[in-house]
Amino acid sequence: MNNLIKYTLFLLITTLLFSCKDDDKPTEQENQYSDIYDLPSTPFNYSNVDLPETFNSYIYSALDNTPNNNRITDEGATLGRVLFYDKELSFNRTISCSSCHKQEFGFADPVAKSEGFEGGHTRRNSMNIVNSGFYEPGKYFWDHRAATLEDQVIMPLQDGIEMGMTLELVTSRVTAKDYYKPLFKAAFNSEEVTTDKISKALAQFVRSIYSFNTKYDQGIKQTKNIFVDFPNYTDAENLGKRVFNGILTPESNGTCMFCHMGNENLRPDVAFDPNEVNQVLFVGLRADNIGLDADFRGTDGGVGEFTGQDSALGQFKTTSIRNIELTGPYMHDGRFETLEEVVEHYSTGVKAHPYLSNHMINGDGTPRNLNLSEDEKAGLVAFLKTLTDHTMTTDVKYSNPFVNQ
Ligand code: HEC
Ligand code: HEC
C-alpha cells in the first residue's frame, strides 16, 4: 500500500472513531467539572443491574413500587447521587442526605438520633434505605407519613431539624451551581432545575441501592429453598435460619420471616415454587406493633399518631434488615444497641398492648415471647450477620462523588 492511501485510511478511521465516540457519549462534557466531582464519562449502570435469579419476576410484579413515570435511568440516578451527597442542599451547607445515611453503615447512622444542620437531633433513628424500592405499600418513614418515595425524598430538605430549606431555596441553590447543568441535561434533556426533577432523581438513586451479595445470597443460590440448611453456613447460622423461618416454633407464622421477608405465603407448611415467591428481600410488608412498649402515647405513637387511628398506635414500618449488623442502634428510636438486645426482645421482652400484632399473640391472648435457648439466640444473631453486603457498602457507584466534600 502506498503511503498516501495509508494516510488517507488512517485519517478516515480516526475521524470515524472520534465521531462515534462523541455520539455515543453525550455525557463526555461532564469532565469539565472534574475538579468538583469524580464521575465516569459513561454513567455507572443503575438501570439494568444483573441481579441474581433469586430476584425473580415475582419480586418485580408484586413488590416493586417504582412508578411508571420515574423508572431508573443511569443519568437520573447519577444526578440523584450528586444531590444525595451535596451539602449545598442544607441551609448552612454543613450536611447532606449522606450525613445521616452513611454507605459504610448500610446507609443508616450509627447513633440513635442523628444530628441535623444546626446540631439539633432527629426525633427517630435514621433508616437504612437499602432495597427500599421493593416495599409493596410504597410508604416511607417509620410512621408511613410519606405516601411515595418521590414525596419522601424532598421532606428531609424542608425539615426544620434535618436540612432547614424551602423548596424554592433548594431550586435556586442547585440552579446557581453550573456543575448541575450537564447532569440535568443528561437526565431530563434540559438544564432547567425543578423540584419535580430533584425529587425524581433522588428517588431514582435511593431505589437503585440494591443489596444482593451476601453470604445468605450465596446460600440461597445453591439450595433455592429457604427451608433447607445452607451448605455455606455454619451450624449456628443454620440454627438461626431455622429459628428465623419459624420451623422451631409450633406457631410458625409468628416468627421473624413472616414479617421480615416480604412474602406471607412463604411458610414451611405451604408448598412453594421458588420462582413464585420472594426468598431474598428481607423488606417487610407493613407497619406493625411488636410490643416494644405497653403504652405509646406521649412518647411516639408511630402510624397511629400520624393517622389519628388508635388501632395503629405503636405501629412502625418493617424496614429492610439487610446489613442489619451495620445499621444499629435498632428500632424506630434506636433503643437497642446490639442485635443480642433485639433478639432478647423477641425472646422475653414483648409487652401486652391492645393493638399488638396478631402474629405476636398466643392462643390464650398473652404476648408471645419465643423463650429461645442461649444457642438459638446466638444462632439468630449469627444468621442476621449473614445478611451483610460488603459489596454494596463499598460500591463506588453509591459513594460520595465530590472531590472536596
Ligand atoms: C439529619 C439526618 C437526616 C438527613 C440529613 C436525611 N435523613 Fe433520611 N432519615 C433520617 C431519619 C431520622 C429518618 C426516619 C425519620 C422518621 O421516620 O420519622 C429518615 C428516613 C429516610 C427514608 C425512609 C426510609 C424508609 O424505609 O421508609 C429515606 C428514603 C430517606 N430518609 C432518604 C433521605 C434523603 C434522600 C435525604 C436527603 C434529601 C435524607 N434522607 C436526609 C435522617 C436523615
Ligand atoms: C409482627 C411482625 C414482626 C415479627 C414477628 C418480627 N419482627 Fe422484627 N420488626 C418488626 C417491626 C415492625 C420492626 C420495627 C419496630 C420499631 O422500630 O418500632 C422490627 C424491627 C426489627 C429489627 C430492627 C430493625 C432496625 O432497622 O432497627 C430487627 C433486627 C428485627 N426486627 C429482627 C427480628 C427477628 C430476629 C425476629 C424473630 C425473632 C423478628 N424481627 C420478628 C416486625 C416484626
Chain center to CA of 342 = 20
Quick check: 31 pLDDT over 70? no
Nearest residue (CA) to ligand 2, atom 36: 256
Q: Which of 207-211, 301-305, 356-360 has the lowest mean pLDDT?
A: 356-360
**Alpha-carbon distance 370 to 367, whole Å?**
10
Mean pLDDT for the stretch of residues 1-14: 47
C-alpha cell at 19: 465521531
- Per-residue model confidence as pLDDT tens digits over 238-255: 999 999 998 877 666 668
State the closest ligand 2 atom to the C-alpha of 330, by its place in the atom list counted from 1. Answer: 27
Mean pLDDT for the stretch of residues 346-365: 93
Closest-approaching ligand to the CA atom of 141: 1
Quick check: 20 pLDDT over 70? no
**Alpha-carbon distance 329 to 335, whole Å?**
7
The residue type at 303: V
C-alpha cell at 324: 442489619
CA angle 223–207–57, rounded 5-degree value = 40
Ligand 1 centroid–CA 310 distance in Å is 25
- 129 within ligand 1 shell (Cβ under 6 A): yes
Nearest residue (CA) to ligand 1, atom 29: 129
The residue type at 259: C
Quick check: 21 pLDDT over 80? no
Closest-approaching ligand to the CA atom of 382: 2
- 320 within ligand 1 shell (Cβ under 6 A): no
- 152 within ligand 1 shell (Cβ under 6 A): yes
Of the ranges 51-65, 99-113, 255-269, which is most confident?
A: 99-113
End-to-end CA distance of the chain: give it in Å, rounded. 56
Q: Which of 260-264, 282-286, 328-332 has the lowest mean pLDDT?
A: 260-264
- Per-residue model confidence as pLDDT tens digits over 135-181: 999 999 999 999 999 999 999 999 999 999 999 999 999 999 999 99
Nearest residue (CA) to ligand 1, atom 23: 141
- 127 within ligand 1 shell (Cβ under 6 A): yes
- Residues 33/81, Cβ–Cβ less than 8 Å: no
Closest-approaching ligand to the CA atom of 349: 2
C-alpha cell at 346: 423477641
Quick check: 384 pLDDT over 90? yes
The residue type at 239: L
Ligand 1 centroid–CA 160 distance in Å is 13
Quick check: 346 pLDDT over 90? yes
Sign of CA dihedral 98, 100, 106, 111: positive
List the one residue out of 158, 138, 136, 134 whose CA is nearest residue 148: 138
Contacts of 292 (CB under 8 A, 6+ apart): 314, 331, 335, 345, 351
Quick check: 8 pLDDT over 90? no
Closest-approaching ligand to the CA atom of 112: 1
**Alpha-carbon distance 339 to 321, whole Å?**
11
Ligand 2 centroid–CA 344 distance in Å is 12
**Alpha-carbon distance 117 to 68, whole Å?**
34
